Amino acid sequence: MVIEDSPSLAQTYAGILEGAGHSVVVVENGAEADSAIASMPKPFDAILLDLQLPDYDGLDWLEQRPQLAQESAVVVVTADGSINRAISAMRLGAYDFLVKPIAPPRLLTTARNALERQKLYEKAEVISRIVGRESFQGFIGKSTPMQAVYSAIENVATSKATVFITGESGTGKEVAAEAIHQTGPRARKRFVAINCGAIPENLLESELFGHVKGSFTGAIADRKGAAREADGGTLFLDEICEMDLSLQVKLLRFLQSGMVQPVGSSRPEPVNVRVICATNRDPSREVAEGRFREDLFYRLAVIPLELPPLRDRPGDVSLIAQSFLERFGEEEAKHFEPLSAQVSAALEQRQWPGNVRELQNLIRRAVVMSAGPVIGLDDLPLERTHPAPARAADPAPAAFMADPAATASPDFAQSGPTTLADIERLAVEAAIHRAGGSIPKAAGELGVSASTIYRMKSRWQSA
């Protein structure tokens, strides 16, 4: 952009720059420059600013817009070549200072250097934003896998396409969905979440699409439904693989038509929502085994996003634990010193089958039970978490399959299981062992949800 009140000079500058392949916008004063900046989808790469404008002193105009010199390379032009004006311009962030009359080679050289400088600045900003981030929209972590997640969220946020989030239980799938919503253009509208596995099948359709009064027993009033509540915003369907096949057909029709038909109504209504769904199961396996419609899967999985388990995020465990320690300490009105290197190392070595949710519960329990100000290893019941991956000396999975009792507890090995509950526990623990400690994988093998196994383990620990 050239800001110059002399039409002849403005056209001269524009002609020189356009002849070198640049696109140029010419304005006569500060007000027109403000309008041009506001109308552009992104900042100008470079701005040629005359200091003697009809409505502004150029330095004052630049000073009142401190972000401008960061977003664009500003080159100041004036007939007053005093050193004081040059110094003032540089202090306000100007890249260079030219004195009239300007020779064409000098103008082109300055413009080329200014553009190169701006490109380098933008690259540095991108690198520092992506590589250096320790947190992002509710996530905490600086590991390489999480940097990839942050970048993916930013890339998909502005799209209208559906996103299918996968990952083990506790990895932050709803956090990712909210991050996509908050980073995108729908952030000012509602984010509505539905857990498809927590709502009875006979009520889920009403929760999603609403109902009219009297459409079924107990429908004493009209219900809007999550899809219409999220109109203009985002609808998040968690644990989508738990949805009944009959309702999957209606969901597919809704996604294809953009129309919602409440239960008991004969009149469909249009809604504008972005759909994000998530599951801790393997969706391709669910499709192969007939529990999830293939056409719905491909309609939902336009943009897949997989969240890494906590054990695959080196260095993040101690960061997250420290964040939880500070948050829960404040909630409990207690002061705690930062986690020691010994505690951090112990936390990093665990497998965390429950991922961030398990770590969160562990730190909360420690904060509640400890008087402080130091959290030690004795305050963290780490024996309740899974140890590091199996070593070579550990029993092989094949041996486990051949004789599960051989690797069970001593009581089981000597006398065998005595009750149905004993047999159930032995089968579950054997499946977890074969899955290398992964609860979701074990759950897939046994044909149950991961939450079912977590409830079992909690019951066994409290017994």
List, for residues 277-320, the tens digit of each pLDDT value: 999 988 888 998 899 999 999 999 889 999 999 999 988 999 99
On whether the 397-462 domain is CATH 1.10.10, my answer is yes
Q: H/E element holding 384?
A: none
Task: Give how far the C-alpha of residue 99 lies from the chain's centroid of Cα atoms, to the nearest Å.
Answer: 49
d(CA 213, CA 223): 8
Domains 311-384 and 397-462 share a fold: no
Whole-structure pTM value: 0.57
pLDDT of residue 414: 45
Mean pLDDT for 333-354 is 91
For 272-307, give one letter per residue: b (16+ CB within 10 A) or e: ebbbbbbbbbebeebbeeebbbeebbebbbebebbb
> Cβ–Cβ contacts within 10 Å for residue 213, how many?
10
Comparing 233-237, 249-253, 382-386, the range with the smallest average pLDDT is: 382-386
Mean pLDDT (the chain, rounded): 83
Nearest CA among 205, 2, 225, 220 for reference residue 114: 2
Q: Where are the domains of the chain?
A: 2-128, 140-308, 311-384, 397-462
Residue 192 DSSP label: E
- Tokens standing for 37? 């900046």
Nearest CA among 250, 302, 298, 244 for reference residue 276: 302
273 pLDDT band (50/70/90 cuts)?
Answer: very high
25-53: pLDDT as tens digits: 999 998 999 999 988 888 899 999 888 88
The identity of residue 58, as a single letter, is G
Answer yes or no: is pLDDT of 62 > 90.
no
Answer yes or no: is pLDDT of 403 > 50.
no
> Cβ–Cβ contacts within 10 Å for residue 104, how many?
14
Angle between the N-to-C axes of helices 450-462 and 439-446, in degrees from 0 to 180, rounded to the nearest 10: 110
Decide: 195 and 238 in contact? Cβ < 8 Å.
Answer: yes
CATH topology of domain 311-384: Helicase, Ruva Protein; domain 3 (1.10.8)
CA distances (Å), origin 60, targets 45, 66, 68 = 21, 11, 13
pLDDT of residue 451: 67
Q: H/E element holding 108?
A: helix 104-131
Mean pLDDT for 315-340 is 93
Long-range contacts of the stretch 450-454 (C-beta < 8 A, 24+): 450/168, 450/169, 450/280, 451/169, 451/197, 453/428, 454/169, 454/354
d(CA 148, CA 150): 5
- Which CATH number is associated with domain 2-128? 3.40.50.2300
Answer yes or no: is pLDDT of 22 > 80.
yes
Decide: 256 and 243 in contact? Cβ < 8 Å.
Answer: no
d(CA 139, CA 159): 21
pLDDT of residue 407: 40
pLDDT of residue 128: 54
Q: Over pLDDT 90: what percentage of the chain?
A: 38
Rg of the Cα atoms in the chain: 31
| More confidently predicted of 390 and 437 | 437
Nearest CA among 365, 367, 364, 383 for reference residue 375: 367
Answer yes or no: is pLDDT of 406 > 80.
no
How many helices (H) and strands (E) in the chain?
Answer: 21, 14
pLDDT of residue 395: 37
Answer yes or no: is pLDDT of 275 > 90.
yes
102-146: pLDDT as tens digits: 888 888 998 888 888 777 777 656 555 555 688 899 999 998 889
Is the four-CA dihedral 34, 36, 42, 48 of positive or negative sign?
negative
Answer yes or no: is pLDDT of 171 > 90.
yes
- Which CATH number is associated with domain 140-308? 3.40.50.300
Mean pLDDT for 423-447 is 80
pLDDT of residue 388: 46
d(CA 222, CA 262): 9
Long-range contacts of the stretch 158-162 (C-beta < 8 A, 24+): 158/184, 158/185, 159/184, 159/303, 160/274, 161/302, 161/303, 162/255, 162/274, 162/275, 162/276, 162/277, 162/299, 162/300, 162/301, 162/302, 162/303
Strands (E) across 207-366 are located at 234-238, 259-260, 269-270, 274-279, 303-306
Residues contacting 444, CB < 8 A, separation 6+? 281, 282, 285
pLDDT of residue 129: 56
Comparing 107-121, 144-158, 182-196, 412-426, the range with the smallest average pLDDT is: 412-426
d(CA 386, CA 382): 8
Residues contacting 313, CB < 8 A, separation 6+? 141, 143, 145, 146
